[in-house]
A and B are shown apart, each in its own frame.
Chain A
Amino acid sequence: MLPASAKAPHKQPHKQSISIGRGTRKRDEDSGTEVGEGTDEWAQSKATVRPPDQLELTDTELKEEFTRILTANNPHAPQNIVRYSFKEGTYKPIGFVNQLAVHYTQVGNLIPKDSDEGRRQHYRDELVAVSYQGSQESVKVISETGNLEEDEEPKELETEPGSQTDVPAAGAAEKVTEEELMTPKQPKERKLTNQFNFSERASQTYNNPVRDRECQTEPPPRTNFSATANQWEIYDAYVEELEKQEKTKEKEKAKTPVAKKSGKMAMRKLTSMESQTDDLIKLSQAAKIMERMVNQNTYDDIAQDFKYYDDAADEYRDQVGTLLPLWKFQNDKAKRLSVTALCWNPKYRDLFAVGYGSYDFMKQSRGMLLLYSLKNPSFPEYMFSSNSGVMCLDIHVDHPYLVAVGHYDGNVAIYNLKKPHSQPSFCSSAKSGKHSDPVWQVKWQKDDMDQNLNFFSVSSDGRIVSWTLVKRKLVHVDVIKLKVEGSTTEVPEGLQLHPVGCGTAFDFHKEIDYMFLVGTEEGRIYKCSKSYSSQFLDTYDAHNMSVDTVSWNPYHTKVFMSCSSDWTVKIWDHTIKTPMFIYDLNSAVGDVAWAPYSSTVFAAVTTDGKAYIFDLAINKYEAICIQPVAAKKNRLTHVQFNLIHPIIIVGDDRGHIISLKLSPNLRKMPKDNLSQRHLESHGLFPLPLWVSGHSSQPWEKKGQEVQKGPAVEIAKLDKLLNLVREVKIKT
């Protein structure tokens, strides 16, 4: 059944045409329609049908014979195959092309007799035949099958291998397979039974009872959890995460196992301690705020006055002002002590420090340092006590938590507000060069070249000492020894005794760093320099009694002021030996202070309980405000202006501190005053709201005129001074 490959010339496919006419007949073997002669008559009845697109051929072409050859080639097989040879790296033609074409395949289950499987089966059959000799049927069957097998096998051999489907052979094969299946079963079923009295006995074993065993556990405890996802909860979670990360980073950086252990120990101790007082310590912040609020409620009217009240009557009073009393600060523990020092904190403008001690030589007792805040007038923020009276104090400008204190016994100490123990952080002692007389004033200086903190102190023992904090110790350097000039008494042996002058007050120049003034008990004021330890730059015969305070003008670099127990306040120009202005206040003057907002305003307090405010620009000869602040018995000891608020604090010798608000008349300024810049430069930022004269919006003028600020103030004072100078020159 090989396909007949008709090798027909490449022409258009020819179509059959049954032309019945007696003309030429076409023989087409492919189509298989042989028109024999006998069919001529039969075909005549039909008419010839010619399709319209039949090929038109000539007679010769029609008679042309085409030979067709049957070959055994596969027409689908390729005529030439080319394979790529990796060995030679080229395509090579393969000579022989397989011409086999498979038309039909079926997989059968005939096995050749001689193959392994065939032999195995044969062997098995023989075994079965042997074992079945006892039973006849099986033997017969087997013998038959065996015969059949034997008969069939030669036939099988004869038939072509592979793809012949011979029905009888298949039948034999099927039989063989069936019997194969049967034969393994039969030996199992064979049982020897007794023919006589065989009885089958069976018994059933007892089935074990099935028992169900269960156990039930308690259901896992359930809780309902609900939370809200707010903006801030999300934020908190992120912040916590960030902190954790930072902590792990820090831990990685500081890896010391020993330190960790000690830290753990410390932590354990802390936790045990904390659990006792745990609950309340955490409340400290809240309690503080609450106390302030409670106080605010109680002193509500005072707070309102402080913020908003401006005495309207001042418009009608002719250039005279008043002081409005605000809060009063007092503490039981400091009851018997006098206020010996007052200082506002340069950073926290509502905080001020008060030193308590005693001026009385005979009654010396302990001292105290209290820091009050305006927000809480009933109790101080910080409280320190010391054995000896505090005579002076100063707060560092850059480090507002460091307070330098001078004591009556000559010691100086530094308190650190960040560590509120009762003891000072650093203290001088007899060994480390304390003064032998009370320290009357201390003042912080700028850090020295090694960034160490240092301050100066002046005392009645005539020494001005510079203390430096070097590696947690106070080191002292005597800067100047005050001598009483012009009074060297000659002792017979030619020794020259220099009696020591007693310093009672000093003040450093605001701009010229090395220059400072010292007031003494004799009433003289010396102008000194830090660099010259033996000589004074200048001397002023200021007062008849001891000088209580000297103070440079915050604006004008040449002007300073002094006050004394000889009832006078004097204003000087440091280039001129005689004072510019002298004021007699009828009572010993405890303290004077320049106002931070104006170059011509200053305050003075006296021992008869009165406070005086002067404004040289308004009235050169008289105070514009004289007001009894405390009871007559109480001597006022100190006064200080607040840097931003229009209030002053006045301390008396009973341990009370009174805060007073300045009425508008007392804080007047010329209209185009722009001392804001000057205030800024002196660290008095933020601006006091009321500094700008009459304008309600002080910042309007801020950006306009740049350098006029301090100049205006200075000019103001200069004018006054010039007037006075002229007078002097004339006289």
Chain B
Amino acid sequence: MTDVEETLKRIQSHKGVIGTMVVNAEGIPIRTTLDNSTTVQYAGLLHHLTMKAKSTVRDIDPQNDLTFLRIRSKKHEIMVAPDKEYLLIVIQNPCE
């Protein structure tokens, strides 16, 4: 197994992590540990948000780029790591 696979496995098995998913550049989920409907919803919404965030950062300074996006809500934390072609989304419950 490649390093990346192992890393993803570790992340999934980490304490408090609810789910992980990998979304491609068009917002279509490639890999997920959650059920389909949730995945599709998360993928679509977060994809737009990430694009918007990226656009914002780069508009201000084109040499800058978005590295990470964290949305902390009451119930849990959604973390988005954008990549050139993919989006890695992890939902974690940080308190316990």
Contacts and interface: CB of A to CB of B under 8 A. Distances in A.
Contacts of A289: 67-68, 81
Contact of A283 (B14, B59, B88, B94): B88
Contacts of B82: 286
Residue from A232, A282, A298 whose CB has the most chain B CB atoms within 10 Å:
A232
Contacts of B86: 279, 282-283, 286
A230 B11 contact: no
Interface in A280-310: 280-291, 293-295, 297-298, 300
Interface string B57-96: 0110011000110100000010101111111101010100
A109 interface: no
Interface string A225-268: 00000111011100000000000000000000000000000000
B44 interface: no
A378 B62 contact: no
B58 A230 contact: yes
Contact of A290 (B15, B16, B62, B88): B88
B10 A230 contact: no
A286 B86 CA distance: 9
A438 to B, nearest CB: 32
B83 to A, nearest CB: 4
A287 B7 contact: yes
Interface string A359-395: 0000000000000000000110000000000000000
B30 interface: yes
Contacts of B17: 294
A692 B59 CA distance: 41
A378 B10 contact: yes
Say what secondary structure dominates the interface of chain A: helix
B3 interface: yes
B55 interface: yes
Contacts of A85: none
A300 B72 CA distance: 14
The DSSP consensus for interface residues of chain B is mixed
A115 interface: no
Contact of B10 (A236, A282, A291, A297): A291
Contact of A231 (B11, B16, B58, B88): B58
A277 interface: yes
B7 A297 contact: no
Contacts of B85: 279, 282
Contacts of B16: 294, 297-298
Interface in B23-78: 24, 30, 55, 58-59, 62-63, 67-68, 70, 77
A234 B30 CA distance: 30
A290 B83 contact: no
Contact of B77 (A280, A281, A297): A297
Nearest to B87: A286
Given A282-B83, A285-B83, A298 B4 contact: no
A290 B11 contact: yes
B62 A297 contact: no
Contact of B79 (A230, A232, A282, A293): A293
- For B16, B22, B67, B88, the residue with the greatest tally of chain A CB atoms inside 10 Å of its CB is B88
Contacts of A235: 58, 62-63
Nearest to B17: A294
A414 to B, nearest CB: 22
A283 B22 CA distance: 9
A230 B59 contact: yes
A13 B81 CA distance: 110
A281 B2 contact: yes
Contact of A287 (B4, B55, B77): B4
A291 B15 CA distance: 11
Contact of B81 (A231, A286, A295, A297): A286
Contacts of B92: 294, 297-298
A230 B17 CA distance: 36
A284 B11 contact: no
Nearest to B60: A231
Interface centre among A234, A282, A285, A298 (most CB of B within 10 A): A298
B20 to A, nearest CB: 8
Nearest to B58: A232
Contact of B2 (A280, A298, A379): A280
B4 A280 contact: yes
Most buried by A among B30, B63, B70, B83: B83
Nearest to A228: B55
B83 A294 contact: no
A259 to B, nearest CB: 28
A391 B62 CA distance: 49
Contacts of A230: 55, 58-59
A281 B4 contact: yes
Contact of B14 (A277, A286, A378): A378
Nearest to A297: B94
Nearest to A234: B62
Nearest to A290: B81
A300 B94 contact: yes
A598 B19 CA distance: 47
B34 to A, nearest CB: 16
Contacts of B68: 289, 293
Interface of A: 230-232, 234-236, 277, 279-291, 293-295, 297-298, 300, 378-379
22 contacts: A231-B58, A231-B62, A232-B55, A235-B63, A236-B62, A279-B85, A280-B4, A281-B2, A282-B84, A282-B86, A284-B7, A289-B67, A289-B68, A290-B11, A290-B88, A293-B90, A297-B16, A297-B77, A298-B14, A298-B15, A298-B94, A300-B94
A-B pairs with lowest CB-CB distance, top 4: A232-B58, A235-B62, A286-B81, A297-B94
Interface of B: 2-5, 7-8, 10-11, 14-17, 22, 24, 30, 55, 58-59, 62-63, 67-68, 70, 77, 79, 81-88, 90, 92, 94
